[in-house]
A and B are shown apart, each in its own frame.
Chain A
Amino acid sequence: MLAHYGVVAVAVAIGLLTAGAFLLISHLSSLVGEGKPKEAKLSPYECGVEPVGDARQRFPVKFYVVAMLFIIFDVEIVFFYPWALQFRELGLLGFWAMAIFVTILVVGYLYLLRTGAFEWEWWEERPVTRALEEAVPVGVAQQGTGN
């Protein structure tokens, strides 16, 4: 058992060494050859135009939303693994325990779907919400949005 992880540790070390060797080789050219840095050469590429401002600016909040959704769902999916390994032995008890868990997961997913968390261009087209409204009768859909 420990031997297995010993091999993995050595493999990671070999990987690190390889990457280090690559970085060293990439540095060789500047040791051997004479670098000619110029202002234009060192400036970030913006299609030949002088770069405008700093690149590290504010970016859309929707990326944060995706990150938060990922953490929630990833943790929930990790919970599936122990059960998936043992579900034959766990039998009915395991089945019902997982049924409750999946129900909670699905309710949360439907809530997010309904509130438009999976919309990318949500202020413009809202394709997911529109598709939902077409699929679900109008009265139900209006209750759902709370309008």
Chain B
Amino acid sequence: MAEEVFWGILKFVIVLTCVFLSIPFVILAERRFLGFMQDRYGPNRVGPGGLLQSFADVVKLLFKEEIIPAGADKALYLLAPALVLVPALCTFVVIPFGPNAQPVDLGIGVLYILGLASLGVYGIVLAGWSSNSKYAFLGALRSSAQMISYELAVGLAIVVVVMMTGSLRLGEIVNEQAGPLRFWWAGQLVEVPFLPNWLALKPLAWPALLIFLVGGFAETNRAPFDLPEAETELVAGYHTEYTGMKFAMFFLAEYANVLTVSAMTVTLFFGGWHGPLLPPLVWFLLKMSLVVFLFMWARATLPRIRYDRLMQLGWTALLPVGLANVVALAFYHILKVGYGTI
């Protein structure tokens, strides 16, 4: 048991180090890509091709004067960035990067991630409330309403995944998606060669995949759902009053969340580490990079949606569709097993 704990902790520390080392380059990649999409260069001066840009930014942030605005609730003001960062980092303990690269395969891995994702709301609300700035306050209000609304839809999408794989354990969800594509047709099990058994290839999981992606964009407050920090109206939203390393904590947490959502999309819908020829870890990181790229692509392409449309989309489109997906899956199962009359 002690050995298991030791290896789990070691793996988590390694994963966390990799996350911290990769985030500067993800940020750089995003800025260069946005530059490419907007027909400009993006940062390309610091180091070869701008590779060291993020490290230069960190140095700048380190030397910033520490400012705590007058009228701010000091304790909460300092606590808020920590409350955002801690859940963002702790999610990585259950992510299955490879057959042996998962720090710990919790029996309730999916629920653990969902729970930590909702904890992030506290930090954002407290950041907005404690700053004593109107922009921060409005950003925090918007953000909390947005995040809790989309959490429902994401919860339903994950119910669909749990129904199709029969487990809350992330490692098992990945293993269920091994081998060639299988499905029931006219009372027998059909196997399709050359296609993987990913949930993303099963029509009954398509609505769930769509909801999960849209919800993931909204949960991480990323474009086109970045209303909490809509710079055209709210300056920077909930972190308007933060400078230096405290701002960096919000920034890190945002990108850590993007990595978590990407990893979860790959785990739940795209077969996790499974793939031919290449080693499992390479497959996982490859798929994950593609989803991260999707995040950047959406940010470069889609305009920000209006707040009332955002709430409408969450409550009157994603939620019913998710529920319909669950019901459809239940009916499909009854038909498959063939109870005769229901």
A interface list, Cβ under 8 A from B: 1-8, 10-12, 14-16, 18-20, 22-23, 25-30, 33, 35-37, 39, 41-47, 51, 54-56, 59, 63, 66-67, 69-70, 73-74, 77-78, 80-81, 84-85, 87-88, 91-92, 95, 98, 102, 105-106, 109, 113, 118, 120-121, 127-128
Docked CA distance A29–B8 (Å):
35
Complex contact A19–B86 (CB within 8 A): yes
Which residues of A are found within 8 Å of B240, using beta-carbon distances? 44-45
Residue of B nearest to A80 (CB): B159
Which residues of A are found within 8 Å of B320, using beta-carbon distances? 109
Docked CA distance A38–B95 (Å):
46
Q: List 25 A-B contacts (CB under 8 A).
A: A3-B1, A4-B105, A4-B107, A6-B5, A8-B106, A11-B90, A15-B87, A19-B81, A22-B81, A22-B82, A28-B62, A30-B66, A33-B65, A35-B65, A35-B66, A44-B134, A51-B134, A56-B129, A59-B137, A59-B141, A67-B145, A85-B166, A92-B339, A118-B316, A121-B308
Complex contact A1–B107 (CB within 8 A): yes
Task: Flag whether B71 is at the interface (Cβ < 8 A).
Answer: yes
Complex contact B132–A26 (CB within 8 A): no
B126-142 to A contact mask, C-beta < 8 Å, 1/0: 00010111111100010
B313 to chain A, nearest CB (A): 11
B interface list, Cβ under 8 A from A: 1, 4-5, 8-9, 12-13, 16, 62-71, 78, 81-82, 85-87, 89-90, 92-94, 103-107, 111-112, 129, 131-137, 141, 144-145, 148-149, 151-152, 155-156, 159, 162-163, 166-168, 235, 240-241, 244-246, 248-249, 307-308, 311-312, 315-316, 319-320, 323, 326-327, 330, 333-334, 337, 339, 342
Residue of B nearest to A18 (CB): B89
From known contacts A29-B66, A80-B159, infer whether A44 and B111 are also in contact, taking CB-CB under 8 Å. Answer: no
Complex contact A45–B135 (CB within 8 A): yes
Number of A-B contacts (CB under 8 A): 220
Complex contact A36–B245 (CB within 8 A): no
Docked CA distance A20–B245 (Å):
11
Residue of B nearest to A42 (CB): B70
Residue of A nearest to B162 (CB): A84
Complex contact A26–B244 (CB within 8 A): yes
Docked CA distance A81–B71 (Å):
44
Complex contact A80–B156 (CB within 8 A): yes
Docked CA distance A23–B82 (Å):
8
A117 to chain B, nearest CB (A): 8
A140 to chain B, nearest CB (A): 19
A70 to chain B, nearest CB (A): 4
Complex contact A80–B311 (CB within 8 A): no
From known contacts A15-B90, A18-B89, A91-B339, infer whether A7 and B103 are also in contact, taking CB-CB under 8 Å. Answer: yes
Complex contact A88–B333 (CB within 8 A): yes
Docked CA distance A69–B153 (Å):
13
Which residues of B are found within 8 Å of A25, using beta-carbon distances? 62, 245
